[in-house]
Structures are given as structure tokens and as C-alpha cells.
A and B are shown apart, each in its own frame.
Chain A
Amino acid sequence: MGPDILHHPLNRADGSATLSSNLYSVLAAVNGPVEVQRRDELPEEAAVEVNIRPASGVGGPRERWLETVVAAVLRSLLLVHMHPRTLIQITLQITKAPSLTLKGAARDVAVLPSLINAAFLALADGGLPLRNTVAAVLLAVASTGEVREEPSEKELAGCKSVHGLAYDNHGDLLLSESAGSFDLVEWERIADQAEKACRAVMAPLNEDGVVTEGSTSSLPWLRQELTDKAQAAIAWREAT
């Protein structure tokens, strides 16, 4: 399972990736560290700028809000102190969004995991120094109380609450955006499930490429991606 990933689709960006899940497709491009405008310059760390472009039309307040959320997560992920007085620019173009009009909050939360995952892959592709590995998941609670991981469009439209969470490889919660109607117990159950799911996608493989921990329902696609990338990068050495 896992989303479809295309590596380095853009030649002129420092790093790029396309990520398509069942709901959204996101094209992410990273440039950095580059020169920063004087008014945005930070004396001790790199400024992080996120630009989000919607699938159709121009961005508005909604995109500005999404940008602040994504930028906050990425800033906690990047080793910004290594490039003071520079800028790391991340552009996220949403290329596919659900056709069915989802309700406001569900629509806002549902796109976040895709944005975070795409941005992370692009950052890794661009070789920017990162503190941790991060994975984000989307969970929806149906009106029956059933929790669905990576829900379909229909499930999302009829759900009681939606939750977008991101965990890093230490199990720290980097992002939690939930909307709908739920209580604390429910949220804790969701957080547990999300952590398990996030750990599963970065779970280590054994020599045969088989999963050794985590659930079997979600393959460690993120680990696989990163391993493939590393192998591709040292391919020249093997060849000689």
C-alpha cells in the first residue's frame, strides 16, 4: 500500500517529490539554503518559507493558514541552526483534490498529512539536514465509532471527526490537527493508532525486505523510499 511516489520530478529545484495518496496529489519542491530577503533574515537560523498552491484558483486565507501549520512542523524538523541567515523555501502544489465537496474542517485537516509527507520527501531529496524522520497519517472516526486509517472520500464525507497526526522516529508528536466532535479518550486512542501507523511506515526491514515490526496492513513505504534513495546515491561506488 502506501502512496505513489515519484522522485525528483523537477530538475531545476534542489529537491522535489510527487506524492499521490487516495485523496490528494501533491507536488513538492524545495530550494535551499538560498539567499534571504533582508526583512525575513534571522541572525541565528534559516528562515523557512512554505508556499501552498491550491489545485484550482489562487490561494487565499485558507492557504496562508495551511502554510503556517506546515511551516511550524518543518521548522521543528529542519536543522535550521546550520544555515543561519538563509532561506529554505518549500513550494507545495496540490495537483489533485477530492471532487466531492467535503465539509470545511474535514477538508482542511485531510490535506495536511499529504502536505507534510510530500514536503518531507522533497526535503530528503534535496539533501537538507534534518533532525528526524517524520510521517503523517490521516484518521477518520465514522459515526459508528470505527476508526479508519487513510479513509476514502466517502468515509471522510460522512465521518464524525477527522484527525491528522505526524510522529517522528522518536515517537514525538509533531502535529495534531483534529476537527469534528470527539472526547479525550477517543483522541488518545487515535493518537495511539496514529503512532503505530507512523512507526510502521518507517519500521526497519530485515534482510529479505520483510517487515519486522508494526502492523502488516501498512508497509514501511517511507523506510523503503529512503533506503532506495540511499542505495541509488551510492550506486556509482558499487559499479566501480
Chain B
Amino acid sequence: MQADRRRLNAPPGGTAPPVFATAPKTKLQRPTRTREPDQHRKLFLRTGIVPSASGSAYYEIPPQQQQQTGLLVPQSSSLKITCTVHGPRPLPRNAAFSPNLLLSTHVKFAPFATRNRRGYVQNASERDLGAHLETALRGVVIGERFPKSGCEVVVTVLEGEEDGWWAGNAEGRGGGWGMMGVLAGCITVASAALVDAGIDCVDLVSGGVAAVVQAGTDQRGDDGVVAIDPAPSEHDGGIRAACVVGYLQSRDEVTEMWMKGDAGMRAEQLIDEAVKAASLTRAVLAEAVKEAVEMKLEKVEGNAVAAASVKEGKGKSKDVVMTG
């Protein structure tokens, strides 16, 4: 990579990630899927984590197996995403008139998000994710209500889903299946942040992902199983196809769909399952949003009470009013 004049660079000799010697075979146990095919992993969602932004949210799927392997390399993958929303705010003076809210999305992986260190400059796959996210959100935001305004949705992936099992064969690693899971997470977290920012939406959009996975190892005639929320490292038979949707449950609409791989006859079933996954995340999303609103209301009420009680005494010293 060419040296970046605006950053501190690696030593001129260039560095390589460590290569691990093969550990004793007994130690290496491929993570397996223990939940049912229609079961989603546990996920954690919270809004309002960045006070300096108009809206923000944090999304996490904690790693599945917590058992001590005694290895330095993590066995199961996890997903940690933060999202901030800035806006709606006026467009820069040189921008052309726009009757709608101009939504721009930006997805970036942290350098330490994946097994191989990433660069600071956005790469093609990150830009691709950004474009997918934008289509997912555009159908939800009521743009006409914010003419001449812009809104930035910035997603930072602190820890990304892996594309396969790190110690597995090379074919399991490629394919970019992890990206599908990341996109589903991005849609959900961005939706929560938009709500936190108070931007009018027609519904809550939530992301869901499903995949056709090979059940056994290498059975030619096997049709595979459709499983929601696949963790690529858990499916040793490999993933044949996957589908992400951005889904509006109460309107039963899909704003974004991304299908990859060869689903064959099961394409329709795959979409249905992805929608099901989105409905499951929607429950968590609605819960998080509701909780945040309740907390906000409590705070407002609490403030009102506090303001009434300290109207006379102590509050005075902190109260500075400009008169003129």
C-alpha cells in the first residue's frame, strides 16, 4: 500500500500478520450451530450512546460459545456495530435545491474489526454496503418533510462477522457471507439511530438474513436447509446462498433485498425466512426504541419536577439569564 501522508505509516519494511502453527488437533473444534434453524442469535441494541450526535445506536451479537479454548484466536465470531445520525441539517450553501431530505450513508469497518487488519480508507465492499443501506433506508424516511436538508448516517463496524471458519479450508473462507450478516445489522442499527434522531419514518425497518446451508458434509443430492441468521463459521457444510432483506413489518413491505449464491428452487423460501428473521429483530428494535422513549419521557418529567422544587433556593446560582 502506498504511504499515506496524513497518517502514521507502517515501517518501511512492511509487516505481515502472524502465521499460527497448527495446534494439536484435539484443541481445534469447529463451532457448530446449536440453535434451531429458525432461531436467531441473541442480540443487544441500545440507542443514544453518542450524545454529540442527533441520534445514535449500538448493536451487538455477542459470541456464541464462551468456553475457554485456551487459544489466542477467537473461535466464534461476533458482531459489534455503532451508528450515528447527524441531521436533519441545512445543506451546504453550494448544494442545489432539493425538495427532499438528502440521505447519505457511510459504512466503515474499524481496522481491528476483522481477522486481517483493514485499511483506513473505505474499500469497495464497504462502499457497496453503504449503497445497500441507503436503499434500505430511503424507502422508510419521509423525505418530503425535510426539504433543503441533509442527513448523514455513519456506521462503524467495530467487529465484523467472519466469512467462514478461520482454520477451515480455503473455500469456506471466501464468498463474503459475513457481509450479509453485517448488512442486516447495519439496517437494524441505522433504523434505531434514525428514530433516536427523531427523523420521521413510515415504519421501523429491520434487517434479516437467511441462508441455504448444506446440512451434512458433502452430500451431492442434499438440498440443504434454510436457516435464519447464519454464522458462517458454524456451517461446515458451507453456505450455498444467502439473502438479506430490509423489511417493514407493519406495512409488509421490503425496501431492500440482496440475494447471493445459488438458491435453486428454494429462492422464495429463502426470502420468506429472511423476512421472518427481520420480524424477529424488529421485536428487539421496537423494544429498544420504546425503552429509550420511556427514559426520555421520565427525564423530562423528572426535570420538570426538579425545576419546580428548586425554583427558589439552590437553582439560582446555576441559573444565568442573558437580558438585554
Q: Do chains A and B touch in the complex (CB under 8 A)?
A: yes
Give me the interface of A with B, judged by CB distance under 8 Å.
58-61, 64
Residues of the A chain whose Cβ atoms lie less than 8 Å from the Cβ of B5: 58-60
In the assembled complex, B314 has its CB within 8 A of some CB on chain A:
no
The 6 A-B residue pairs with the shortest CB-CB distance in the complex, in nearest-first order = A60-B5, A61-B8, A58-B5, A61-B7, A61-B6, A60-B6
A-B contact pairs, 9 of them (CB 8 A): A58-B5, A59-B5, A60-B5, A60-B6, A60-B8, A61-B6, A61-B7, A61-B8, A64-B6
Give me the interface of B with A, judged by CB distance under 8 Å.
5-8
Residues of the B chain whose Cβ atoms lie less than 8 Å from the Cβ of A59: 5
Residues of the B chain whose Cβ atoms lie less than 8 Å from the Cβ of A61: 6-8
Residues of the B chain whose Cβ atoms lie less than 8 Å from the Cβ of A58: 5
Nearest A residue (CB) for B9: A60
Q: Give Cα A58 to B8, complex, Å.
A: 13
Residues of the B chain whose Cβ atoms lie less than 8 Å from the Cβ of A64: 6
Nearest A residue (CB) for B7: A61
Q: Give Cα A68 to B105, complex, Å.
A: 31
Given contacts A58-B5, A60-B5, A61-B7, 6 further A-B contacts (CB under 8 A): A59-B5, A60-B6, A60-B8, A61-B6, A61-B8, A64-B6
Most buried by B among A58, A59, A60: A60
Task: Give, as a whole number of angstroms, the nearest-CB distance from B4 to chain A.
Answer: 9
Q: Give Cα A60 to B9, complex, Å.
A: 10
Most buried by A among B5, B6, B7, B8: B5
Nearest A residue (CB) for B4: A60
Task: Give, as a whole number of angstroms, the nearest-CB distance from B94 to chain A.
Answer: 9
Task: Give, as a whole number of angstroms, the nearest-CB distance from A51 to chain B.
Answer: 14
Nearest B residue (CB) for A64: B6
Q: Give Cα A83 to B7, complex, Å.
A: 34
Task: Give, as a whole number of angstroms, the nearest-CB distance from B10 to chain A.
Answer: 13
Residues of the A chain whose Cβ atoms lie less than 8 Å from the Cβ of B6: 60-61, 64
Residues of the A chain whose Cβ atoms lie less than 8 Å from the Cβ of B7: 61
Task: Give, as a whole number of angstroms, the nearest-CB distance from A66 to chain B.
Answer: 15
Q: Give Cα A61 to B3, complex, Å.
A: 12
Task: Give, as a whole number of angstroms, the nearest-CB distance from B171 to chain A.
Answer: 42
Residues of the B chain whose Cβ atoms lie less than 8 Å from the Cβ of A60: 5-6, 8
Nearest B residue (CB) for A39: B92
Task: Give, as a whole number of angstroms, the nearest-CB distance from A105 to chain B.
Answer: 15
Q: Give Cα A60 to B8, complex, Å.
A: 8
Q: Give Cα A60 to B3, complex, Å.
A: 10
Q: Give Cα A60 to B5, complex, Å.
A: 5
Q: Give Cα A183 to B18, complex, Å.
A: 42
Q: Give Cα A59 to B3, complex, Å.
A: 12
Q: Give Cα A166 to B228, complex, Å.
A: 66
Q: Give Cα A64 to B5, complex, Å.
A: 11
Task: Give, as a whole number of angstroms, the nearest-CB distance from B116 to chain A.
Answer: 25
Q: Give Cα A61 to B9, complex, Å.
A: 10
Q: Give Cα A59 to B4, complex, Å.
A: 11
Nearest B residue (CB) for A62: B8
Q: Give Cα A163 to B7, complex, Å.
A: 27
Residues of the A chain whose Cβ atoms lie less than 8 Å from the Cβ of B8: 60-61
Q: Give Cα A207 to B8, complex, Å.
A: 54
Task: Give, as a whole number of angstroms, the nearest-CB distance from B224 to chain A.
Answer: 51
Task: Give, as a whole number of angstroms, the nearest-CB distance from A54 to chain B.
Answer: 12
Q: Give Cα A212 to B5, complex, Å.
A: 49
Task: Give, as a whole number of angstroms, the nearest-CB distance from A15 to chain B.
Answer: 28
Q: Give Cα A58 to B5, complex, Å.
A: 8
Q: Give Cα A83 to B5, complex, Å.
A: 33
Nearest A residue (CB) for B92: A39
Most buried by B among A58, A61, A64: A61
Task: Give, as a whole number of angstroms, the nearest-CB distance from A52 to chain B.
Answer: 13
Nearest B residue (CB) for A59: B5
Task: Give, as a whole number of angstroms, the nearest-CB distance from B12 to chain A.
Answer: 13
Q: Give Cα A59 to B6, complex, Å.
A: 9
Nearest B residue (CB) for A38: B93
Q: Give Cα A64 to B4, complex, Å.
A: 14
Q: Give Cα A61 to B5, complex, Å.
A: 7
Q: Give Cα A61 to B6, complex, Å.
A: 6
Task: Give, as a whole number of angstroms, the nearest-CB distance from A29 to chain B.
Answer: 22
Q: Give Cα A135 to B189, complex, Å.
A: 55
Nearest A residue (CB) for B94: A38
Task: Give, as a whole number of angstroms, the nearest-CB distance from B195 to chain A.
Answer: 32
Nearest B residue (CB) for A60: B5
Task: Give, as a whole number of angstroms, the nearest-CB distance from A41 to chain B.
Answer: 12
Task: Give, as a whole number of angstroms, the nearest-CB distance from B11 to chain A.
Answer: 14
Nearest B residue (CB) for A58: B5
Q: Give Cα A64 to B7, complex, Å.
A: 11
